[in-house]
Structure 1
Amino acid sequence: MDVLKYIEENILVFDGAMGTILQKKGLKLGENPEILNIENREIILDIHKEYIKSGANVITTNTFGSNELKLKRTNYSVEDIIYAGVDIAKEAAKGTDTLIALDIGPIGELLAPMGTLKFERAVEIFKREIEAGVKSGVDLILIETMTDLYEVKAAIIAAKETCNLPILCTMTFEEDGRTFTGCLPESMCITLEALGVNAVGINCSLGPKELKDIVERVINTTNLPVMIQPNAGLPKIIDEQTVFTIDEKEFSRYVEEYVKLGVSIIGGCCGTNPKFIKELDFIREKYKRVKRDYIKQYAICSPSKVVFIDEPKIIGERINPTGKKKFKEALIKGDIDYILNQGLEQVEGGADILDVNVGLPEINEKEVMKKAIEELQCIIDLPLQIDSNKKDVIEAGLRTYNGKPIVNSVNGDIECLEEILPLVKKYGGAVVGLTLDKEGIKNKAEERLEIADRIIKKALEFGIKIEDIYIDCLCLTASAQQEEVMETLKGIKLVKEKYGVKTLLGVSNISFGLPNRQLINETFLALALGAGLDLPIMNPNSQGMMDVMNSFKVLNNNDKKAKNYIEKYGNLKIERKISSGNEIKKKIEEEISLENAILKGLKRKTKIITEELLKEKTELDIVNEYLIPSLDKVGEKFEKGIIFLPQLIQAAETVKISFDIIKDRLSVNNNKNISKGKIILATVKGDIHDIGKNIVKVILENYGYEILDLGKDVPIEVIVEKALNEKVKLVGLSALMTTTVKSMEDTIIALKENGYKGSIMVGGAVLTKDYAEKIGATYYAKDAKESVNIAKKVFE
């Protein structure tokens, strides 16, 4: 069966759960399910056969956790497990037209900058799995149960660099409509469609009832086939057993509604079994794939922010060393905080996208571009525009970027187009085409249109959609080429009329060499917007430029009923003035405060300010007056959904810079200790997942607590012994798997039976507050921030 051709017209049925069935068949606590491919082949074979018998078109190999990091605790290699897993699936499918999907799950470690696993290392890990699967003869690649968009990208890149098999990707979302790391369904769709996968969707975490809003958002954002594999409802723990809350009939009723909306690939996740798949097979027989209208959208994104270019949007121009002495000095010194400040100020000014240009002969532009993108994406959520004229710099930026960026730029030279456009296609970006070639910038608008035509046609040949091509008709300075100013505006009109593409322009170029440049810039911006400019590259911290943008959106019917305009200007008297000395001093003081540096994630500035404060204040004063209140503010933003996990971790790591300086100072001065108390953290016996525990560790450490991290799969006796010997007041236990919740309860019982008098907090994806109380825990921590609140109660 040609799966891609089949899903053009038909509903495709995947199989259901593997892990929860194996648990019912006796999978031992903490045992890796994938080793059963070798040690109990028949049990896996029987499950596959049952799914095929129930009507599954596709069975997934028992290789979800078959990466080298998860398997290092076993006696088997990645190749051992995958070769065996594919061989079992092939045997089960023999004599049928059932397809075999190589199942690729998360690595089990957070990627940098949230964690320590490097992106390129993640690509290597995924490549090893995929190479083994391809060699074994799988039909397609299924990347599933992902929470981090960056990890999904690593897996997709690994697949694309290894084979030409169809790639299907699903992520797992929480009830708030985001993944664990804060990724939006829209960001997933926009990024993965640009990366060239063949289907996108949702699996695990929630039941079909709870998926309704997320499914609709996915269908309304992508043109790809949509896939869903829900759980059998939300799990509950009853009599120490995990029980899923809906049966196969109710499950299929919800799935049927989603098929009517346009979902075309269906299956099951945790709690489902062959009975569920049999019901889905009835749906497959009953329906053809619903034809959805093509969604023509102009969009770029970060994981937590999507910018739809459905009205004029601002690209911030200030991360660019051209003509900026201080910026050049910062780049040469490696002062990344200077770049971050430029980014943060533009966010506050109202930018929608940030241009990132670090081109300077004196530096390694490729490495600085990678560093700038990594650091910017830690502290802001705006999409970025990668700005360079060097192939290696552009590729480094594209490979590093998390989401869908803009590439600025290509020009009309065929050599340039053939060098850069394949990179844009491979890494899933939008591209800016400059209307110039080897002969330079043409004088007439019609000549620039000819170059735009060449760029657009070549981009389309490489498979880049028309929606992802932006044309820059190029702005020349009015002081030297006054006659050509209106040709630029005419060029914008011609490009828009002929191709309907979005247009981009560096607006401030117009005023070089003229007095009162701001007035020229504002006037030209208004003219360009009127001509159809979509993306002005400009300074969002210029009040006059922002005033033009805001007023234009009223006149252009973008700002409906002038709501935003009235909100911004209704009670505001506009005065253009030079700031007084006191105002400038106040602004400087605010910008150099330790709290401000921590909230913005500026590590270098945090180091400098901490060292200055230590000249006047004691170590503990800095901790109590600056560090803890700053982290509290970050925590409040996290709880309110203003920031997400990457920003929370970045702030904690920034505080660590200050804490390390203070600890070193205390060590010199009589070895004093600033620890607010010892806390044990451990992932319980049988559970090999410690992402959540590691996040909690980072946050608690930077609140001043001393963490005794016992690791993962920790025996009960080790936890008990450590808790008693170290006399800790708080023990934190983590469990991610439903099968290890019983181990958590046994650990709590053992602690109490052995005389432990302190508090016990528990956390993990499968836990609830009610169940935490039932198994005897003192506290339930729903996330890392809540663990801080608990620690404060215990110690303070």
Structure 2
Amino acid sequence: MPDNANNDLLASALAGEAFLLLDGAMGTQLQERGLAAGEMPELLCLTHPEVVTEVHAAYVAAGADVVTTNTFGANAAKLGDAATVEEVFSAAVACARAARPRYVAADLGPTGQLLAPMGPLAFDDAYELFARQVRAAADAGADLFVIETMSDLAEAKAALLAVRENSGLPALVTMTFEEDGRTFLGTTPEVAALTLSSLGAAAVGINCSLGPSEVAPLVARMAPWARCPLMVQPNAGLPRVEDGVTVYDIGPEEFAAAVEPMLDAGVTVLGGCCGTTPAHVAAERALLAGRAPVRRVPLDRFAVCGPQRLVALAPGEVGVIGERINPTGKRRMQEALRSGNHDHVVAEAIAQERAGAQILDVNAGLPEIDERAVMCRLVDELLAVTTLPLQIDASDPAVIEAAIRRYPGKALVNSVNGKAESLAAVVPLAARYGCALVGLTLDEDGIPATAEGRLAVARKIVAATDAAGVPRRDVAIDCLAMAASTDQTAPRAILEAIRLVKAELPGVRTVLGVSNISFGLPFRPLVNATFLAAALGAGLDLAIVNPGVRRMMDVVDSWRVLSGEDESARFYVEHYADRSDAAPAPVPGDQGGRAEKDGPAAAPADPVERARALVLDGRSGPMADAVREVLLDHDALYAVNEVLVPALDEVGRRFEDGRFFLPQLMASAEAAKAGFEVLREAASASGAPATEKGPVVVCTVRGDIHDIGKNIVRMLLENYGYEVVDLGRDVAPEAVADAVVARHAPLAGLSALMTSTVPAMGETIELLRERAPWCKVVVGGAVLTPEYARMVGADFYARDAMETVRIAGEVIA
């Protein structure tokens, strides 16, 4: 274990007051020392510990403060029967400690599987894989953890929770981003920084995938949202092939020069990833000589996020929370929650996002259902069709915790109140999971009638959140709108309470469920809109409203002009230039063009347009009926070529443009799949040939056990109507050739994540050329480039799963 001086260095570094230098690449160093292609590097800790220690010692000699154990893939799922997690971590920590570093960091890499709902691995199962590693590393004497190369925010969260709940050691967490500045699931640097630092990461940052020049602007985007030290471990540039060998083209001095601007931006924890060597780390050590860390001040803003979008409010800005996903008083919503057919809920989410909501309230509070299970399922389903952050709305702390624990982002929790029991149960959850929190101004004595009474309850709530370490920027006080029809003094008391909270509790935000004010009155939208305008003037920050009511959004949009939030009134002019006083006014009882009981805006009347819209929205539930309606007037070929395929093509364009991300892409593909299933049923009943295309043989090549990318390709191809033969992972060339020949497959897809398994890809293609010359081959994977694809003799290179689908369409007419 480190001595006290070293402990002081680590503490200073994790406070952002000193630099901490980590090591560089392990895999490429082991390859130089004889690691065979396809061999698990982690097992060398058991079979050749002296080789692993030699690598560690080289980094220590180069000046690294921290060496990272050779355990990147040492989880139970990957190790299988080769060794136990405990054996590998015990040996790995011993190898690292033998090099006499200041600190030994236990390395936790991704599981290699896609988490549910998109993949087979449940969040709790991923957590258990990481927890076992954490306990093993802690028992072996590790000083800290490095959670690295994460591309799924939910998986990073599972790993970070495992460290926090199974050890008392700090965890540094790095995500890996694509060239477009997002992970393959669409997470941005801002979202990753906010989520992970709020959850208690000791440092957050970026590693792998990109070189330092490409990483620098992404780190700059992280900086305002990271509430902990910033960390970078770039690659030594982008890989290229030279005489059949993978090389990285940035040398030590150039590498250090490219890292220097990131130090100026506030990075204090650094090292290297793929292609970096002890010489690169030595250059970084020289760069740090005589330099002091740059003080970085994160933005002090209310902010929440989902996996793809961050919503933040600067002082004076207004946010809109959509209120419609709540069963209270909504018969169709109640029926949807009871039946488990949540398409109506999904439709409400889509409609609210389009109408201008920035956050979606989600409530599943019906006494006769399993609220915890339903809430968790709703979160999964909603995140597949909307990028908006969610407000988890429940009165049961167990329901809240179940949802926020697995939520891939920073959620808003609705709610806590001033009762001692509520404060004791809910405030610690917000603190533990790094959530923002709504506080209701009621306590054991009910809802105070006066503004001063509401302020007193707000003080009690804020005292509890202050004590628990929840920042005030993450606390929003709800002064509770009450019906004016029963007490006309209530509106003034509520408005005064908002003013008092803003004045007396600096840093705290305010939130209000506006529509309660009009209960029992006719023409409720007019009352609601008038009260909303008054509340905004009193200092309201977050309005919980139905964004589908045009009058409510008119108030919000015009207020943003008057407050200066809508700079130069750009949004207002763009969206209101064609509006006029002559536009028809809503009728009494109207809810923005539709009665409340009607729910979301009506779907297109034409079956063809409705089916296309369902694919774009990712709504599988109504898809079968829509396609059956199409078949009343058209044949199956029309349904494929004029309905499903054009809709999927539009989905692909939105994916390429960055308007859709992988969850939305998969939801749209699932909707199309539901349509293809109807066509198959119709073909079977009529005796006509099925519409399925293919087959396409896919696998991860020999020696490579990472199959996330391959699994995504399989799911997309299947949902686009292709027959897919999935051979799994670590597949020998002979098995691929056998499958292609047996099915006379016109296309094979090969995946590899590690540079060491690229030669196996080449061997597989060579055998296919010999035994199945008709078969075209597409390759992909994290390490693959067009240059690699040409080197191994592939016909196509696919940079993502959507590209594979397009290639399949080109090959299989």
Q: TM-score range by the shorter chain?
A: over 0.9
Q: CA deviation at 1:329?
A: 1.9
**Contact 1:591–1:597 at 8 Å: present in 2 too?**
no
Alignment of 1:104-115 (within 5 A): 104-115=108-119
> What is residue 89 of structure 2 aligned with on the other side?
82
Q: 2:486 aligns with which of 480, 491, 497?
A: 480
Amino acid at match of 2:584: E
Q: Deviations over 1:114-142 (max 9, x none)?
A: 21111111111111111111111111111
* 1:55 and 2:63 correspond: yes
In 1, the alpha carbon distance for the partners of 2:714 and 2:57 equals: 44
Amino acid at match of 1:90: R
Q: CA deviation at 1:712?
A: 1.7
Alignment of 1:159-174 (within 5 A): 159-174=163-178
Alignment partner of 1:141: what SS? strand
* 1:24 and 2:28 correspond: no
In 2, the alpha carbon distance for the partners of 1:584 and 1:326 equals: 14
**Contact 1:724–1:756 at 8 Å: present in 2 too?**
no
**Contact 1:4–1:166 at 8 Å: present in 2 too?**
no
Q: CA deviation at 1:586?
A: 7.2
In 1, the alpha carbon distance for the partners of 2:632 and 2:265 equals: 65
In 2, the alpha carbon distance for the partners of 1:580 and 1:505 equals: 23
Alignment of 1:148-159 (within 5 A): 148-159=152-163
Q: CA deviation at 1:597?
A: 2.1
Q: Deviations over 1:643-667 (max 9, x none)?
A: 1111111222232233334434544
In 2, the alpha carbon distance for the partners of 1:621 and 1:562 equals: 46
Distance 1:584 1:314, change over 3 A: closer
> What is residue 225 of structure 1 aligned with on the other side?
229
In 1, the alpha carbon distance for the partners of 2:560 and 2:691 equals: 54
Amino acid at match of 2:222: V
Amino acid at match of 2:432: K
**Contact 1:666–1:673 at 8 Å: present in 2 too?**
yes
Q: CA deviation at 1:418?
A: 1.0
Q: CA deviation at 1:304?
A: 0.9
Amino acid at match of 1:443: A
Query: For structure 1, which segment, 620-629 or 311-320, has the greater mean C-alpha deviation from structure 2 after superposition?
Result: 620-629
In 2, the alpha carbon distance for the partners of 1:584 and 1:674 equals: 33
In 1, the alpha carbon distance for the partners of 2:424 and 2:607 equals: 48
In 1, the alpha carbon distance for the partners of 2:324 and 2:792 equals: 55
**Contact 1:602–1:654 at 8 Å: present in 2 too?**
yes
> What is residue 451 of structure 1 aligned with on the other side?
457
**Contact 2:171–2:201 at 8 Å: present in 1 too?**
yes
Q: CA deviation at 1:370?
A: 0.7
Query: For structure 1, which segment, 291-300 or 397-406, has the greater mean C-alpha deviation from structure 2 after superposition?
Result: 291-300
Alignment partner of 1:242: what SS? strand
Q: 2:556 aligns with which of 543, 549, 570?
A: 549
Q: CA deviation at 1:671?
A: 8.0
Amino acid at match of 1:499: L
In 1, the alpha carbon distance for the partners of 2:711 and 2:231 equals: 31
> What is residue 723 of structure 1 aligned with on the other side?
740
* 1:38 and 2:41 correspond: no
> What is residue 765 of structure 1 aligned with on the other side?
782
Q: CA deviation at 1:614?
A: 5.1
In 2, the alpha carbon distance for the partners of 1:255 and 1:425 equals: 34
Amino acid at match of 2:354: E
Q: 1:255 aligns with which of 248, 259, 263?
A: 259
Q: CA deviation at 1:365?
A: 1.1
In 2, the alpha carbon distance for the partners of 1:119 and 1:626 equals: 36
Q: CA deviation at 1:514?
A: 0.7
**Contact 1:321–1:357 at 8 Å: present in 2 too?**
yes
Where does the alignment leave 5 or more consecutive residues of structure 1 unmatched? none
Q: CA deviation at 1:585?
A: 7.5
**Contact 1:11–1:287 at 8 Å: present in 2 too?**
no
**Contact 1:345–1:541 at 8 Å: present in 2 too?**
yes
In 2, the alpha carbon distance for the partners of 1:702 and 1:230 equals: 36
Q: CA deviation at 1:771?
A: 3.5
> What is residue 352 of structure 1 aligned with on the other side?
358
> What is residue 213 of structure 2 aligned with on the other side?
209
Q: 1:438 aligns with which of 438, 444, 456?
A: 444
In 2, the alpha carbon distance for the partners of 1:173 and 1:12 equals: 22
Q: CA deviation at 1:677?
A: 2.1
> What is residue 498 of structure 2 aligned with on the other side?
492
Amino acid at match of 2:620: K
> What is residue 3 of structure 2 aligned with on the other side?
none
Q: 2:519 aligns with which of 509, 512, 518?
A: 512
Distance 1:697 1:585, change over 3 A: closer
Q: CA deviation at 1:34?
A: 0.3
Q: CA deviation at 1:450?
A: 1.1
Q: 1:382 aligns with which of 385, 388, 391?
A: 388
Q: Deviations over 1:704-740 (max 9, x none)?
A: 2211212222211222232233222112222221122
* 1:738 and 2:746 correspond: no
Alignment partner of 1:286: what SS? coil
Q: 1:339 aligns with which of 342, 345, 362?
A: 345
Alignment partner of 2:622: what SS? helix
In 2, the alpha carbon distance for the partners of 1:417 and 1:101 equals: 37
CA RMSD, 1 decimal: 2.0
**Contact 1:173–1:202 at 8 Å: present in 2 too?**
yes
Among the aligned pairs, what percent are the same residue? Answer: 45
> What is residue 237 of structure 1 aligned with on the other side?
241
* 1:391 and 2:408 correspond: no
In 2, the alpha carbon distance for the partners of 1:152 and 1:287 equals: 32
Q: CA deviation at 1:516?
A: 1.1
Query: For structure 1, which segment, 15-24 or 566-575, has the greater mean C-alpha deviation from structure 2 after superposition?
Result: 566-575
> What is residue 246 of structure 1 aligned with on the other side?
250
Distance 1:294 1:594, change over 3 A: closer
In 1, the alpha carbon distance for the partners of 2:83 and 2:320 equals: 53
**Contact 1:330–1:338 at 8 Å: present in 2 too?**
yes
> What is residue 584 of structure 2 aligned with on the other side?
575
Q: 1:322 aligns with which of 323, 328, 352?
A: 328
Amino acid at match of 1:346: Q
Alignment partner of 2:437: what SS? strand
> What is residue 192 of structure 2 aligned with on the other side?
188
> What is residue 469 of structure 2 aligned with on the other side?
463
* 1:177 and 2:214 correspond: no
Q: CA deviation at 1:612?
A: 4.8
Where does the alignment leave 5 or more consecutive residues of structure 2 unmatched? 1-5, 588-592
In 1, the alpha carbon distance for the partners of 2:491 and 2:708 equals: 56
Query: For structure 1, which segment, 162-171 or 622-631, has the greater mean C-alpha deviation from structure 2 after superposition?
Result: 622-631
Amino acid at match of 1:51: Y
Q: Deviations over 1:227-267 (max 9, x none)?
A: 11111111111111111011111111122221122110110
> What is residue 531 of structure 1 aligned with on the other side?
538
Amino acid at match of 2:289: E
In 2, the alpha carbon distance for the partners of 1:401 and 1:261 equals: 30
* 1:289 and 2:293 correspond: yes
Q: CA deviation at 1:153?
A: 0.8
**Contact 1:187–1:305 at 8 Å: present in 2 too?**
yes
In 1, the alpha carbon distance for the partners of 2:594 and 2:754 equals: 60
Alignment partner of 1:520: what SS? helix
* 1:131 and 2:135 correspond: yes
**Contact 1:619–1:662 at 8 Å: present in 2 too?**
yes
Give TM-score scaled by structure 2 length. Answer: 0.94
Q: Deviations over 1:614-671 (max 9, x none)?
A: 5665444433333222222211111111011111112222322333344345445548
In 1, the alpha carbon distance for the partners of 2:335 and 2:402 equals: 23
Amino acid at match of 1:368: V
* 1:502 and 2:509 correspond: yes
Distance 1:676 1:304, change over 3 A: same
Q: CA deviation at 1:590?
A: 7.3
**Contact 1:434–1:474 at 8 Å: present in 2 too?**
yes
Amino acid at match of 2:572: Y
In 2, the alpha carbon distance for the partners of 1:414 and 1:663 equals: 59
Alignment partner of 1:264: what SS? strand
Q: CA deviation at 1:595?
A: 2.1
In 2, the alpha carbon distance for the partners of 1:157 and 1:294 equals: 23
Q: CA deviation at 1:496?
A: 0.7
Alignment of 1:611-760 (within 5 A): 611-613=628-630, 617-670=634-687, 672-754=689-771, 756-760=773-777
Amino acid at match of 2:759: K
> What is residue 785 of structure 1 aligned with on the other side?
802
Q: CA deviation at 1:572?
A: 2.8
